[in-house]
Amino acid sequence: MTSSSKPFSSGRKRLLAAGASIAIAAAVGFGAITSGTLPVQAEAVRVEAPQAPGFADVVEQVSPAVVSVRVKAKIEPASDTDFQMFGRGFDDLPDDHPMKRFFKEFRGWGDQDQGGRMERRKHRDDSPRPVAQGSGFFISDDGYVVTNNHVVEGGAMFTVVDDAGKEFDAKLVGTDPRTDLAVLKVDGGGQKFTYVNFADDSKVRVGDWVVAVGNPFGLGGTVTAGIVSARGRDIGAGPYDDFLQIDAAVNRGNSGGPAFNLNGEVVGINTAIFSPSGGNVGIAFAIPASTAREVTQDLIRDGAVQRGWLGVEIQPVTAEIAESLGLSGEKGALVSNAQDNSPAKKAGVIAGDVITAVDGKDVASPKELARIIGAITPGKAVDVTVWRSGQSETMKVDLGELPAPEKQASLQEGGDSQAQSDQLAELGLTIAPADDGKGVVVTDVDPGSDAADRGLQAGDVITNVNSKPVSGGDDIEKAMAEAAKAGRKAVLVQVSRDDASRFVTLPVAKG
């Protein structure tokens, strides 16, 4: 009995031990639940590091001042009697013809009139239709809105939508196509609008942060950020090009929207992008705040911008042109033509003059001359300093008012500097006297010559060399000889083509 009970006792002890361990485990588990604690687990990753400053504070303050601009225009319907198909008029088609059914059902055509002709129904499609949308911003609490001219151009009805989605009717105050700016006026019924100010863009530096707010693709208020990539960009839009280049994402619909600095001031107005695909590639151009401020003030006050007019066609002064005229540097604007009845011509400015200063302010380039003159009130007398015949002269000019865009001071490209020849005959020119005795006609140009390199071609008329009129080859050779004697390497040649005048340089003979 004793020996047979040992296995049972031993197994029972193991069973009791197992039960005890289960009870302990249950007690532990129960205690964990009742005590509110959980087993230790890994925590979510959180990095404690300095946070880079964002743009949220700026955006929060300026967004109420930025608006969407919707433009509608009246679309003139096509004449009801002009429809032709394969030489047959619309009324000549059978009543069951599919084209006739289409126009009757879907294009607003109704039943026949008493003469058997189809009449077009009058319906709401004749009302103004959406043609454009862009961006803008308030510059005063009484509702003046700045946008681009190309946004509102051709529009008949204008709607401004604020950041909260509220719509306001607006009227067009004025436009300035030359700078692509326009001003709208919202009647808020006494409501005061949140508005923003223009920055001092002379303090804007390449690398400064900018925040663009606008209405890309009609999505509504959208914010992008970037830096100022460059200043003073000339994109060929007009004589007053002086754009800021920014890399903030700007797309269609951003036009007219502001680019802010971190103080919430407008440093530029987004107006153009460089894009082979039509979308953002990080190169956008903004009208500087200084230009926008002056233009909008004029538009609000007068409804238009009045600019001074000198009346000259101008081109850059290249190194060769400067050397041929005895100028010390490549500065100023070379007058290729003084327009008839212009203030410049009346004051005595002639082709071949280099305008170096206006009212004592140095002129660095043709673009700067256009901006200086354009900023002066028409009718004001100014002192224009020119370089002529190796010396500086100053003359008084009574500026006129810039008339039409086609009469503004135009910029013409000068000839490129290329290798010079040793002999006059090697210039590659064949000439003949002009029929009227004024100048010589270029009858042939050697394709590989210096003359060809500088853009001369058959049919051009050479009228002056170094500001002296020529009537034959001897006059050209004489002018070149005088230039060589004075130690100059080139002569300045005035060329007329298609009623336009420009200057190129030709090398003088050596020895």
| Cβ pair 445, 452 in contact under 8 A | yes
Mark residue 506 as left, alpha or beta (left: phi above 0; alpha: psi -120 to 50; beta: remaining).
beta
Q: At 62, is the secondary structure helix, strand, or coil?
A: helix
Supply 5's token pair.
């009970």
Residue 401 to residues 367, 377, 398, Cα–Cα distance (Å):
18, 8, 10
Q: What is the residue-wise DSSP string for 183-226?
A: EEEE--TTPPPP---B--GGG--TT-EEEEEE-GGG--SEEEEE
Q: Which of 362, 307, 309 is nearest to 333 (CA)?
A: 362
Give the span between the Cα atoms of 116 and 491, in whole angstroms. 77
Q: Which of 70, 64, 35 is nearest to 155 (CA)?
A: 70
- What are the b/e assignments for 329-343, b being 16+ CB within 10 Å? eebbbbbbbbbeebb
Is residue 467 part of the annotated active site? The answer reads no
- How far from each other are the two terminal CA atoms of the chain, in whole angstroms? 144
Q: Which residues contact 318 (CB under 8 A, 6 or more apart)?
A: 330, 414, 415, 417, 505
Q: Which residues contact 2 (CB under 8 A, 6 or more apart)?
A: none
φ and ψ of 334, to 5 deg: -80, 125
DSSP summary character for residue 378: T
| Cβ pair 175, 185 in contact under 8 A | no
Element (H, E) at 298: helix 289-302
Mark residue 454 as left, alpha or beta (left: phi above 0; alpha: psi -120 to 50; beta: remaining).
alpha
Supply 174's token pair.
């004025």
Is residue 365 part of the annotated active site? The answer reads no
- Pick the catalytic residue from 135, 229, 255, 324: 255
Is residue 150 part of the annotated active site? The answer reads yes
Supply 354's token pair.
């280099």
Element (H, E) at 308: strand 308-309
- Pick the catalytic residue from 176, 180, 247, 450: 180
Supply 81's token pair.
């009697």
Q: What is the dihedral of CA 90, 96, 97, 101, to 10 degrees?
A: 70
- Pick the catalytic residue from 135, 150, 336, 460: 150
Residues with active-site annotation? 150, 180, 255
